[in-house]
Each structure stands twice: as C-alpha cells, then as structure tokens.
Amino acid sequence: MARKYKYGVVRKVGNAVIGALLRAGVAPRSYVLLTTSGRRTGLPRTTPIRLLKYDGKEWLVAPYGEVAWVHNARAAGKVELRHGRSTRTVSVFECGAEESAPVLREYIRKEPVTRPYFDAKRRDPVRAFAAEASAHPVFRIADPPNPS
C-alpha cells in the first residue's frame, strides 16, 4: 500500500533549501518554482516541483496527491514557473487517466524519492498507473501559441 504524504519539518526545510537554489538559478534545470494564486485568498503560493519533459511536452505531476498547488492550478488554469531569473506563465490542463498513465510511469523512473507514494511499481505496465491516476493529478503545460 502506498505511503500517505505528510508535510513535516524535514520537507519544509528541504523545500526552503531547494527554493533558494532555484531562485539563485543553481538547481538542476528539471526543477522549477511553481507559483499559483491561492484560490481563496488570491495570494501567491510557491513550491518547488519537478518539471517533467516527456514525449515532447512538459508536465507537472502531483506525486503526493491533491495538495494545495493542485487545487490552485485547477481553479486558475495557469501557473508561473521560475528558475533563476527566468519566469514564465503557462496554461495548464489536467489530464485524464489514459493520458496521465505513461507520464506517471516516467515520473517515478526519474524521481525515485516519490516511489513509496505509488502502488504501481517502476516496471509495471502503463495500465497499473492508469488505475491510480486519480490519486496523482497530472497537468499538461499548454503549447505556446504560434506567432502568426
């Protein structure tokens, strides 16, 4: 059975350290600071997250389930991504189980620390990830508009 996510002191300190590295632009490019507008307060909420590049697209995965940024991204339909001095606002679209499944499998391959939060294992078929897609929301970042 998958482990339940708890936001404790270790995670809080880790996020603060990673956040500082991301603001300075010295963290790996696969990580960004994700900022959403609080759906109730409208205040900015920021958390470090892995930006997964897979199948020619960019994805945001919530390996710990429906955490605050997920609710805020759903409500707003857009998020801000920052790495160093580079910031961009992107539209996000939540994916269904069929689209999410291969992304989730790729995510746990690249982010092993999150594996205990999944019932599906790294080598399981895609259908095992589809079965638990509702527990791990996935957002596809919209393709930028084509300049005409």
Backbone angles phi, psi at 36, to 5 degrees: -120, 160
State yes or no: pLDDT of 147 exceeds 90. no
Inter-residue long-range contacts of 102-105, CB under 8 Å, 24+ positions, other chains counted: 102/54, 102/55, 102/126, 102/129, 103/52, 103/54, 103/55, 103/59, 103/61, 103/138, 104/61, 104/129, 104/132, 104/133, 104/136, 104/138, 105/129
**What residues contact residue 52 under an 8 Å CB cut-off, 6+ apart?**
30, 58, 59, 60, 61, 103, 106, 107, 110
CA distances from 63 to 40, 103, 135 (A): 23, 11, 8
pLDDT tens for 41-97 read: 999 999 999 999 999 999 999 999 999 999 999 999 999 999 999 999 999 999 999
Residue 1: how many other CB atoms lie within 10 Å: 5
Query: Domain containing 130 — which CATH number?
Result: 2.30.110.10
The total number of structural domains in the chain stands at: 1
Proportion of the chain above pLDDT 90, given as a percent: 72
Q: Specify if 42 maps to a domain.
A: yes
Round the average pLDDT of the chain to a whole number and report it: 91
Higher pLDDT, 25 or 10: 25
Within a domain: 17: yes
State yes or no: pLDDT of 148 exceeds 70. no
Domain assignment present for residue 147? The answer is: no
- Tally Cβ neighbours within 10 Å of residue 135: 16
Q: Name the strand (E) or helix (H) holding 70.
A: helix 68-76
| Reported pTM | 0.88
pLDDT of residue 28: 87
Q: Is residue 52 one of the residues assigned to a domain?
A: yes
pLDDT of residue 9: 80
The answer on pLDDT for 145 being more than 80 is no
| Full residue range of the structural domain in which residue 39 is found | 9-141
pLDDT band at 102 (very low <50, low <70, confident <90, very high): very high
Q: Is the residue at 4 inside a domain?
A: no
More confident residue, 113 or 9: 113
